[in-house]
Amino acid sequence: MKRKATWLQFRANAKANPLRTRIEDDSFLNDPIQGVAKLPSELNQLVALVQEKWENCADVQYQHLLVERVPICVVFINGLIDQDSAQRGLMESLTRYQGENVTVEALRNALMTMITETTAQISSVFRAVADGKAVVLVDGQSEALVVDINKLPGRGIETSQNEPTIQGPQEAFIESLQTNLALMRKRLRTPKLKVQTMRVGAETGTQLAMVYLEGIVKPTLVDEAKKRLNRIQIDGVTAANQVREMIADAPWSPFRLTEVTERPDRAIAGLLQGRMCLLIDGDPAAISIPAVFVNGLISGEDYYGHFMVSVPLRLLRHAMYWMSLLLPSLYIALLSYNQDLVPTPLLISLEAQHEGIPFPTVIEALGMQTAFEALREAGLRLPRAIGQSVSIVGALVIGDAAVNANIVSPGMVIIVAAAGVASYTIPSQDLVNANRILQYPFMIAASLLGLYGIVALGLMMVIHMVSLRSFGVPYMAPLAPFYSGEMRDTFVRAPWWAMNRRPQLYEPVDSTRNRTPKPSPPSEGSS
């Protein structure tokens, strides 16, 4: 009774003083770098403050100069700046300066060819140094000069690895936020493309950019995105998935309610539909919001080829999605409970294959599915030069050895392999991962109730999917609720001249996207 009373008292105290409330009241989470005091005018005192903040940071450099007998200190992080710009553009310009007064404004005028700004806050000085900029501190001045000469390390623009296409552009996002924004600006050359930046992460101070098309996107969507992003209070953000999980509508759902893409052309296509995207510095992907189910089965290849070719391919992907999810469970149900639905010759063949197998069908399926997932993970973790070879050879060797040892039947190997191949046709990795999770409940339900279990669990899954919302947009739109006009780009892809309106499920401000008339041959009288 004493232990129970202690637990009840703990719960009462937790409700009275919730941890979330205490965290939200901490100011350091709102200001990534503390210290909002103004700069002192004495150089030695100012340099001491900077050195105290950046103590035990060997890569932080302090370059002391005399400009017209006035002491100056240039602070920067070695490795984050352009050495050539620092030497020729900044240092030489400062040493050659000749003027009556050595002030921050005078030095700024002398560096007119460089991007500069002034600040009077110590927190801004710390932030500028962390961003890879050079900070010029002048004795007797209560302001500092920030010079943008940063050159952050990174890789060049490459082709997309996770969303490859045969036709169309091959450029992909990289880890540099500025480069990613430039890739979008190159494709959308309009002042309507708006970019709003903020910092997330108390320690990392990661830059995050909200990108949208003004006059097309719904204003309430932008406001809702700002509200959710401002609620993020975390010590560091290093990947887009952290932001995705903290702004999701249904965090416990296996279906992701935000969409990621590493292709600038796909992100631009979303903006033109009335969506918006989030770019995070250090992550080579864009988060597109809102997200709907059918977008996960659409490939960029659909829009770069002829629409008559994309129609059967898109229908194939829809069929393969459900096949990858339900094929193993259907095999279990038909062999264990619903043999009357299987043609007699096929049933005799399957039962003959299963003769001598020491495990029931559900254990056989669970074991083979787990082995397939292990081989898939091994292929991803190994170096690319040998990863695919090991996964393919491993699947062949293990499958053949398991069949010869009478551990699994040949039919089960075929079913699991077919479901795995079907999953590779799905463009969205989020949908693939959701199916990998849901396959196991469906197999267990099929082993307990047969087809009735699959139907019952399927209805529960569909009800869950219909109830989901992504920033106010139904996840199953335009199927539920049904938008007849959106069927032109759902199961099929209509020709471009027929898609004259933006998707109404995103409620765009300007719904007209195309006024091109239907192509027609010239008349007989025209020349």
Do 320 and 285 lie in one domain? The reply is no
Do 466 and 425 lie in one domain? The reply is yes
Do 182 and 282 lie in one domain? The reply is yes
CA–CA separation, 299 and 95 (whole Å): 57
Please list the alpha-helical segments (H only) found in 91-230. Answer: 92-95, 104-110, 122-130, 177-187, 219-230
The number of domains in the chain is 3
What digits encode the pLDDT tens for the residues 99-119?
A: 778 888 888 888 888 888 888
Over residues 213-241, the mean pLDDT reads: 92
In a domain, 164, yes or no: no
What digits encode the pLDDT tens for the residues 2-28?
A: 444 443 443 444 344 443 333 334 333
**What pLDDT does 26 receive?**
39
Do 399 and 448 lie in one domain? The reply is yes
What does each C-alpha distance from 238 to 19, 57, 204, 248 come to in angstroms? Answer: 24, 21, 8, 17
What digits encode the pLDDT tens for the residues 133-165?
A: 899 999 888 889 999 888 887 788 888 888 888
Do 357 and 377 lie in one domain? The reply is yes
Do 117 and 246 lie in one domain? The reply is no
In a domain, 456, yes or no: yes
Contacts (Cβ under 8 Å, ≥6 apart) of 211: 181, 184, 193, 194, 195, 267, 271, 276, 277, 278, 279, 286
Do 211 and 242 lie in one domain? The reply is yes
For the record, the structure tokens of 190 come out as: 């309009």
**What pLDDT does 387 receive?**
63
Cα dihedral sign, 438-441-442-444: positive
521 sits in the region (left: phi over 0; alpha: psi -120 to 50; else beta) called beta
**What pLDDT does 212 receive?**
95
In a domain, 510, yes or no: no
Over residues 377-386, the mean pLDDT reads: 73
CA–CA separation, 481 and 484 (whole Å): 10
What digits encode the pLDDT tens for the residues 249-295?
A: 998 999 999 999 999 999 999 999 999 999 999 899 999 999 999 99
In a domain, 13, yes or no: no
What does each C-alpha distance from 353 to 58, 146, 194, 404, 446 come to in angstroms? Answer: 68, 75, 62, 11, 20
